[in-house]
Amino acid sequence: MSQVVTPHIQQRQKKAKHMVSLALLAGALAFSIWYVKFDLIEFISGIPLFLNFLFTDFLPPNFANMDSYLRPVLDTLIFAVVGTFISSALGLVIAFLMARNTAPHPAVRIVLRGIVSFVRNVPFLVWASLLVVIFGVGAMPGLFSLLVFGTCFLARVYAESIEELDKEATEALEASGATYGQIIKHAIIPQFMPGYFSWTLFMFEINIRASAILGLVGAGGIGSNLKQSLDLFQYSRASMIIVILIVLILAVEFLTQRIRERIL
């Protein structure tokens, strides 16, 4: 039995749904403002204070002791490079095991998918904080957290791009009697190459940003210097570090963009 609803009534129902959704949103907003005691006046009156702080304490950047930043910048870069390399290798293996069209067994796929999505949904700074507890303050927990997070992130996006590949070439090789390994090598990998490179380069950009703030939780890199100078009220040093960070990130983005243009 199908109920015949005239277009007129359908439209009225649609309108009513819209109104209810709007009312709910407005209610949620009002409650939130009340709950956090958001004070617009305080915010606006804070702006001059902030500007004052920015121009008298923060700026100009302190260019003294430039060579003291060299080591942390290098650390940060190395974190990102090593992190990207290792997590792309590990992520690739996991991706093949968990992509629907290449998983050797459905059970493997489901188990890996569960683990990967759990790890990936814990923010990497939380991983870094936990690993600092285990390994102590220093560079290792930073690198490990990039690895853990990056591997799972890449496994997921690699697996998705493997699943999106067209199945026709795979079918042809299967029909000619090729083995699982041969199909992966000859049909999947060539088609997956563009996706692999673009996601890996993207991961590198994420890693550069991430490794810059790892220091905030004591996990090494240039972020450590930032936290230290903020803690010691050396604001002109802090602003110098931020300038270095911006230059570093822009340089890396420029570089990855060039690589992309070259190979894709």
Partner 1 sequence: MTTILQVEGLVKSYAGGTLALKGIDLTVEAGEFIAVIGPSGAGKSTLLRCINRLIEPTEGTVAFLGEAMNSKSKSSLRRWRSQIGMIFQHYNLVNRSSVLENVLHGRLGYMSPLAGVFSRYSEEDKQAAIALLHKVGLENEVFKRADELSGGQKQRVGIGRAIMQQPQLILADEPIASLDPKSSAVVMDTIYENCRERGIACLVNLHQVEVAKKYATRIVGIKGGAKVFDGSPEELTEEMIYNIYQGKEHEMHAQAAGE
- Which residues lie near partner 1 (CB under 8 A)? 168-169, 171-179, 181-182, 185-187, 190-191, 193
Buried b (16+ CB within 10 A) or exposed e, 88-127: bebbbebbbbbbeebbeeeeebeebbeebeebbeeebbeb
Is the CB of 129 or the CB of 191 nearer to partner 1? 191
- CA-to-CA dists, residue 42 to 5, 32, 251, angstroms: 53, 17, 38
Is the CB of 13 or the CB of 182 nearer to partner 1? 182
Is the CB of 187 or the CB of 245 nearer to partner 1? 187
Asked whether the beta carbons of 154 and 91 are under 8 A apart, the reply is yes
Encoded tokens for 116: 């990967």
Residue 139 has a CB neighbour count (10 Å cut-off) of 20
The least CB distance from residue 49 to partner 1, in Å, is 58
The least CB distance from residue 191 to partner 1, in Å, is 6
Is the CB of 119 or the CB of 169 nearer to partner 1? 169
Is the CB of 122 or the CB of 169 nearer to partner 1? 169
The least CB distance from residue 92 to partner 1, in Å, is 15
The least CB distance from residue 157 to partner 1, in Å, is 19
Check whether the bond before 123 is cis (ω within 30° of 0): no
The least CB distance from residue 89 to partner 1, in Å, is 18
